[in-house]
A and B are shown apart, each in its own frame.
Chain A
């Protein structure tokens, strides 16, 4: 069965390419352009995994992680952070707030794919 990934990313040039790449690896992909829409879509569609940017409009990635943690419908969905922030403090903060994985931009798709497989245990 195809796993569903919700990709929350405000840059469409990246999200569309990533969507195609993920679909080529048999994932179903839902796109959201900001954290608020991402939370709404996560509630509606209950994806197997969320990949989210950190710095984006409306609700940022850390606030998104907090919302997921506090919501019983969302707290079991793993979230991988995808961000240009490479500082260890940022990475630690993301894991502290409940991230299941962290990939820094720019990245090779195979590294993101390896993280997805690790998180989904596939």
Chain B
């Protein structure tokens, strides 16, 4: 005679709209199926499924022989009914005890027709391929753009050298030669930022964390991008605490620092910008200071949005992408970024990265 508890479970199963199976966990045999499960898997014939081993394909009799359901929450998928029609039911198995005997109660969710799922998978694969193609195209295009930009920059350098050598350089030539050169590098920065943003948007950025010596990255950037400036401004550097490596993606950290330092040079026109590295007990705090026009308070909440530019920077070149990239990369590396600013006094960006064990 069936126990009260078993009867209660049977009632409960029939009260559920989704397909439900009660399974013997040792034999993986279907002991009981609710009406929905009978309808969906057995074509309405209860005896076709109950008392029989659990099968993945009820049409051609492939059993779930390899299937082990060691813990509650495991799932399995049944793909074909007895009548041979294709379905996909995702069952989640939960361990229950009836009269102290263990059973598996599997509640199913009819997901999609197999064909639909296949189409969706195909669609996703196509979309992924398209994203990859787009990112590759952007990378290739930016590389190709840099070639003529390099030729222009070098031709401008040559023109400047020649004018000086021939004693023909005057303020008019100097002004315009500098203008072409500056714009070439601005165009190159824009290209970099568009490429970076395109990669972020297509989820094509993998964070490759490794122990990084921030000083080494800074020294490289200083030499590569921020030394021997025409205006002779330099980047002042201050360090406090015992230097330690932080676990970040070196490429992304370098991009974060390049953007912040470039901005500092852009706005700190009269005074050298500076950077301060403070190695605290649990974290490294990097502060980048400029002593420029500052950011109006109303702009600060929007500062890290793509294409947003401060209301007082109309006369200064920029895409409005740099800080959005800085914030995204900082957060991708588990860091935080903060900004404080006072109009006509300057701005400080504060990055913070915890050391990882």
The answer, among B146, B147, B154, for a CB contact under 8 Å with A17, is: B154
Task: Give the interface segment out of B180-188, B238-246, B268-276.
Answer: B180-188
For A111, the chain B residues whose CB sits under 8 A away are 224, 227-228
Contact: A17 with B224, CB < 8 Å? no
Contact: A106 with B153, CB < 8 Å? yes
Of the A-B pairs whose beta carbons lie under 8 Å apart in the complex, a sample of 7, sorted by A's number, is A11-B150, A21-B157, A85-B143, A88-B250, A104-B224, A109-B158, A110-B157
CA distance A104 to B221 in the complex (A): 12
For B148, the chain A residues whose CB sits under 8 A away are 13
Q: Which residue of B lies closest to A92 (CB)?
A: B250
CA distance A14 to B326 in the complex (A): 33
Contact: B157 with A14, CB < 8 Å? no
- Tell me if B's interface is mostly helix, strand, loop or mixed: helix
Contact: B251 with A88, CB < 8 Å? yes
Known A-B contacts A55-B143, A106-B185; A86 and B192 likewise in contact (beta carbons under 8 Å): yes
Shortest beta-carbon distance from A33 to chain B in Å: 14
CA distance A1 to B293 in the complex (A): 50
Shortest beta-carbon distance from B227 to chain A in Å: 8
Q: How large, as a class, is the contact surface on chain B?
A: 20 to 34
Q: Which residue of A lies closest to B146 (CB)?
A: A84
Contact: B146 with A89, CB < 8 Å? no
Across chains A and B, which 7 residue pairs bring their CB atoms closest together, nearest first?
A: A84-B146, A109-B157, A105-B150, A106-B153, A106-B150, A17-B154, A13-B151
Which of A18, A86, A103, A114 has most chain B Cβ within 10 Å?
A: A86
Give the A-B pair count, Cβ closer than 8 A. 69
Shortest beta-carbon distance from B277 to chain A in Å: 19
Known A-B contacts A21-B157, A111-B228, A114-B228; A106 and B152 likewise in contact (beta carbons under 8 Å): yes
Contact: A108 with B153, CB < 8 Å? yes
CA distance A107 to B151 in the complex (A): 10
User: A121: CB under 8 A from chain B?
Assistant: no
User: B149: CB under 8 A from chain A?
Assistant: yes
Shortest beta-carbon distance from A57 to chain B in Å: 14
Contact: A108 with B181, CB < 8 Å? yes
Shortest beta-carbon distance from A115 to chain B in Å: 9
Shortest beta-carbon distance from A83 to chain B in Å: 9
For A87, the chain B residues whose CB sits under 8 A away are 251
Give per-residue flags for A81-122: 1 if the beta carbon is below 8 A from chain B beta carbons, else 0: 000111111010000000000011111111100100000000
Question: Quick one: which of B114-164 are within 8 Å of A by CB?
Answer: 142-143, 146-155, 157-158, 161-162
CA distance A41 to B153 in the complex (A): 27
For B254, the chain A residues whose CB sits under 8 A away are 88
Known A-B contacts A11-B151, A87-B251; A105 and B158 likewise in contact (beta carbons under 8 Å): no
Contact: B161 with A106, CB < 8 Å? no
The answer, among A24, A55, A84, for a CB contact under 8 Å with B165, is: A24
Contact: A84 with B228, CB < 8 Å? no
The answer, among A14, A24, A114, for a CB contact under 8 Å with B151, is: A14
User: A20: CB under 8 A from chain B?
Assistant: yes
Contact: A14 with B251, CB < 8 Å? no
Q: Which residue of B lies closest to A25 (CB)?
A: B161
Contact: A18 with B154, CB < 8 Å? yes
The answer, among A17, A85, A104, for a CB contact under 8 Å with B158, is: A17
CA distance A24 to B152 in the complex (A): 18
Give per-residue flags for A51-83: 1 if the beta carbon is below 8 A from chain B beta carbons, else 0: 000010000000000000000000000000000
For A105, the chain B residues whose CB sits under 8 A away are 146-147, 149-150
For B185, the chain A residues whose CB sits under 8 A away are 106
Contact: A20 with B143, CB < 8 Å? no
Known A-B contacts A17-B151, A86-B192; A24 and B228 likewise in contact (beta carbons under 8 Å): no
Which of B150, B161, B227 has most chain A Cβ within 10 Å?
A: B150
Question: Quick one: which of B163-215 are within 8 Å of A by CB?
Answer: 165, 181, 184-185, 188, 192
Shortest beta-carbon distance from A122 to chain B in Å: 16
Contact: B228 with A107, CB < 8 Å? no
Question: Quick one: which of A17-58 are within 8 Å of B by CB?
Answer: 17-18, 20-21, 24, 55
Shortest beta-carbon distance from B166 to chain A in Å: 11
Known A-B contacts A88-B251, A111-B228; A11 and B154 likewise in contact (beta carbons under 8 Å): no
For A18, the chain B residues whose CB sits under 8 A away are 154
CA distance A91 to B250 in the complex (A): 12
Contact: A14 with B143, CB < 8 Å? no
* Sample of 8 more A-B contacts, CB < 8 Å, known A106-B149, A109-B157, A110-B157: A14-B154, A18-B154, A84-B150, A85-B143, A88-B250, A107-B150, A108-B228, A111-B227
